[in-house]
Structure 1
Amino acid sequence: MESTWVYWIALFELLESRGFTVLLVNARHVKNVSGRKSDVLDCQWQQQLMIYSLLRGAFRPSDEVCALRSLWRQREMLQKNQGRHLQHMQKALTQMNIQLSNVISNIAEETGEKILRAIVAGERDGQVLAAMKNVRIHVSEAEIAKSLQVTGASNTYSISPIN
């Protein structure tokens, strides 16, 4: 079997679970089919090579390692997406003229999360929100309250809760 992105995995595992000996072959090793290339010609060429024992199976780790790799890749993807989502949150806060990221380096940690949850719940008093800061935050409550003040015609801001 030739690997084609991730489509081969389900069939490979099914055949292997049913007792078949399945070889995963490197596409570069079997692409020497002369003439026009097609899936049928590839299959016939691989069959011919298999008859003469000229195919070697590629390395395939154990099922446990495959599961671990899959989880690791998923974790990596989620971490990459997390950064983008945090940037979107910071941009939305900036558009609402809430400058929380100027005083708290990571709005996804405890203090930022508490303040954001309180804002979504309806709290608008900057002093109350600033009092939620963790002791590890070196910025004063007054500076946090100032970053949460809205300047402009109306000193109110509205945030609609997302369901």
Structure 2
Amino acid sequence: MEAIVEYCCGLDVHQATVVACLLAGPAERRPRKETRTFGTTTSELEELRTWLLAERCTHVGMESTGVYWMPVYNVLEECFELVVGNAAHIKNVPGRKTDVKDAEWIADLVRHGLIRKSFVPPKWQRALRDLVRYRRKLVESETAERNRLLRLLETCNVKLSSVASDVFGVSGRAMLRALIEGTATPEHMAKLARVVAPAPLACAAVRRARGSLRGGV
């Protein structure tokens, strides 16, 4: 099969090491092959970048396995045409596998243009996506904790969610604090909230709650 890339490199990326196989030479000839192993710290990845630039490498391929490829991508993306492929699409033939052979296989696929590139957003979009995803996780965690507290209150026969307009509002938090401290009377705690039920019902709910909390917590 005819090669289409003259200077390319295949990377087999792991947690602590990166095995790089460089293929260099005219497309119509057998390429020169050189394999080196680098660490995954920033300085060592910069050494990898310097070596590839000195060898006039233009294309670098790797598998998108786990998160180990991301730091490598961040260091190399401004200098090379990066080809990140799905591991299932570039799987080597069955047999004796080594890191060196995997790197050679990826380099050979890149040289012949046989790896379908996975979409990797630009750096600013990746940063924004990480921020949005982290915010969503925080919101989900907050919601989960609120639901856990509501379940605990119901288990202890606390009916705040039935009589208070917002259990987690300013007045609702004041009622929760009074329940935790155990210093306020049921009548006083009922007055702390904006209730959606008559005051006697709210007072009864809190009075029953205090007894349940003492016995169940």
TM-score category, normalised to shorter length: 0.7 to 0.9
Aligned match of 2:214: 157
In the alignment, the residues of structure 1 paired with residue 169 and residue 65 of structure 2 have an alpha-carbon distance, to the nearest angstrom, of: 41
Q: Which has the larger radius of gyration?
A: 2
**Residue type of the alignment partner of 1:28:** A
Cα pair distance change 1:139/1:90, threshold 3 Å? same
Q: Distance in 2 between matches of 1:37 and 1:147?
A: 70
Do the aligned partners of residues 38 and 146 (structure 1) sit closer, same or farther apart at CA in structure 2, a change above 3 Å counting? farther
CA distance in 2, matches of 1:10, 1:109: 43
- Structure with greater proportional strand content: 2
Once the two structures are superposed, residues 30-51 of structure 1 have per-residue CA deviations (whole angstroms, 9 ceiling, x without a partner) of: 12x2223746243221111122
TM-score normalised by L of structure 2: 0.57
Q: Structure 1: 5+ residue runs without aligned partners?
A: none
Structure-1-length-normalised TM-score = 0.72
Deviation at 1:3, TM superposition (A): 1.2
After TM superposition, the structure 1 = structure 2 runs for residues 2-81 of structure 1, keeping only pairs within 5 Å, are 2-16=63-77, 19-31=79-91, 33-36=92-95, 38=97, 40=99, 41-81=101-141
Query: Which protein is richer in helix relative to its size?
Result: 1
With a CA cutoff of 8 Å and minimum separation of 6, indicate the structure with the bigger relative contact order: 2
Q: Amino acid of the residue matched to residue 78 of structure 1?
A: L
Question: What 5-or-longer segments of structure 2 have no aligned partner?
Answer: 1-61
Question: How many percent identity over aligned positions?
Answer: 26
When residues 118 and 64 of structure 1 are mapped into structure 2, their CA distance, relative to the original with a 3 A threshold, is farther
Moved over 4 A (4+): none
RMSD (Å) for aligned C-alpha atoms: 3.2
Maintained 8 Å contact 1:2/1:25 = yes
